[in-house]
């Protein structure tokens, strides 16, 4: 069991979306280990309850599971409200939930485009809309949005996804500039392919999963995928006071992919 009180995020309250799986679960566990009290939000109650159970087992700290579909504005408002009702404040908001879309601009239909934007972009706007008044009243807060390297560079058959993550990068910068003088920092994470259940699903759909995995790995000069823990470690840094002068950045975690 860790000693959360001594951690980098001691005393802070963090709300994380998509916390029942992959990067969001890794963030929830790392944030709790660093001393934060965590609200784990997600669509699937059993998954977020599992994350909360792991936090309790790992740290002895209590955590909150909030069932919320981030595509539903009322759910996003309630998720923030329940976090503040339980913990009395909100210091860190990780807008992490997201979905993929594997179509080019000709093939993608307007309904899919709109849904991708509702889950990947509108939820970021809504999370900030409802959390910022609390952060502004406190005079401090850190927002961390999970974007992607595909918000910075293009990739075939990812029209809606690339556009949505590019919008997350742009909104991150706008919020950073708007609230910098009021104690709020806003940054985003731009990972390359991360070895999460998301990628397992992608590989399961491929005609030759092993070849597809090798192709994904070879995109990085380091020759492998990122781990959810590596992304979560970057989130802990951005959420902590060690990043006190860091705002508006798109932190690339890509094993060198975009450096070549
Ligand atoms: N895995 C990758 O290769 C990769 C790379 C770059 C960026 N990302 C981004 O990282 C984030 C997390 O992805 P992951 O790899 O952990 O995927 P994942 O599928 O393992 O986890 C995503 C989580 O988001 C939740 N979610 C999806 N739609 C939701 C909704 N409408 N409301 C609430 N929760 C919802 C899912 O239930 C799941 O728990 C996403 O924003 C994704 O775009 C992933």
- State pTM to two decimals: 0.97
Tokens coding 211: 């070849």
Cα dihedral sign, 103-104-106-110: positive
Residues with catalytic annotation? 161
What does the pLDDT read at residue 2?
47
The CA distance from 243 to 142, in Å, is 10
- Do 60 and 89 belong together in one domain? yes
Other CB atoms within 10 A of residue 65 CB: 24
- Structural domain tally of the chain? 2
- Do 129 and 199 belong together in one domain? no
Residue 260 lies in a domain: no
User: Count of alpha carbons within 13 Å of 218, Cβ hemisphere only?
Assistant: 6
- Do 97 and 206 belong together in one domain? no
Per the CB < 8 A criterion, the answer to whether 53 and 70 are in contact is no
Q: Is the CB of 254 under 6 A from ligand 1?
A: no
- Do 111 and 142 belong together in one domain? yes
Q: Is the CB of 199 under 6 A from ligand 1?
A: yes
- Give me the tens of pLDDT residue by residue for the chain, a chain 260 residues long: 444 456 999 999 999 999 999 999 999 999 999 999 999 999 999 999 999 999 999 999 999 999 999 999 999 999 999 999 999 999 999 999 999 999 999 999 999 999 999 999 999 999 999 999 999 999 999 999 999 999 999 999 999 999 999 999 999 999 999 999 999 999 999 999 999 999 999 999 999 999 999 999 999 999 999 999 999 999 999 999 999 999 999 999 999 999 99
What does the pLDDT read at residue 174?
99
What does the pLDDT read at residue 198?
93
Look-up of token digits 């609390």: 134
Question: What separation in Å is there between the alpha carbon of 18 and the centre of ligand 1?
Answer: 6
The CA distance from 170 to 150, in Å, is 13
- Taking only the tens place, the pLDDT of each residue in 136-157 is 999 999 999 999 999 999 999 9
- Do 157 and 221 belong together in one domain? no
Which of 95, 97, 124 maximizes ligand 1 atoms within 8 Å of its Cβ, making it the mutation to test the pocket?
Answer: 97
Give the pairing of strands 184-191 and 64-67.
Answer: unpaired
The CA distance from 145 to 105, in Å, is 25
What does the pLDDT read at residue 230?
98
Residue 141 lies in a domain: yes
Q: Is the CB of 76 under 6 A from ligand 1?
A: no
- Do 85 and 214 belong together in one domain? no
The CA distance from 105 to 159, in Å, is 5
Tokens coding 60: 């002895």
The CA–CA distances, whole Å, from 25 to 19, 21, 71, 166, 206 equal 4, 5, 19, 24, 25
Give the domain range for residue 33: 4-191+227-253
- Taking only the tens place, the pLDDT of each residue in 89-119 is 999 999 999 999 999 999 999 999 999 999 9
Q: Is the CB of 187 under 6 A from ligand 1?
A: no
Look-up of token digits 């806003």: 186
Residue 259 lies in a domain: no
- Do 62 and 101 belong together in one domain? yes
The CA distance from 207 to 131, in Å, is 43
Phi (first) and psi of residue 103, to 5 degrees: -140, 155
Q: Which of 252, 25, 71, 17 is nearest to 151 (CA)?
A: 252
């Amino acid at each position: 069991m860790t000693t959360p009180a001594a951690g980098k995020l001691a005393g802070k309250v963090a709300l994380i979306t998509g916390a029942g799986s992959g990067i969001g679960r890794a963030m929830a566990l790392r944030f709790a280990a660093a001393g934060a009290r965590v609200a784990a939000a997600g669509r699937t109650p059993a998954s977020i309850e599992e994350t909360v159970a792991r936090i309790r087992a790992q740290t002895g700290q209590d955590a909150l599971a909030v069932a919320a579909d981030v595509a539903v504005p009322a759910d996003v408002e309630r998720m923030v409200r329940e976090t503040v009702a339980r913990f009395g404040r909100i210091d860190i908001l990780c807008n992490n939930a997201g979905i993929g879309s594997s179509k080019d601009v000709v093939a993608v239909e307007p309904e899919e485009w709109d849904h991708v934007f509702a889950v990947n972009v509108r939820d970021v706007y809504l999370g900030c809309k409802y959390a910022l008044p609390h952060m502004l009243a406190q005079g401090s807060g850190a927002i961390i949005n999970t974007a992607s390297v595909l918000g910075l560079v293009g990739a075939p058959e990812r029209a809606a996804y690339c556009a949505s993550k590019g919008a997350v990068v742009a909104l991150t910068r706008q919020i950073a500039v708007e609230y910098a003088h009021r104690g709020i920092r806003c940054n985003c994470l731009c990972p390359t392919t991360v070895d999460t259940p998301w990628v397992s699903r992608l590989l399961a759909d491929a005609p030759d999963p092993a070849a597809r995995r090798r192709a994904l790995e070879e995109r990085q000069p380091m020759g492998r995928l990122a781990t959810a823990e590596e992304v979560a470690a970057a989130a802990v840094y951005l959420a902590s006071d060690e990043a006190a002068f860091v705002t508006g950045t798109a932190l690339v975690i890509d094993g060198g992919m975009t450096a070549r």
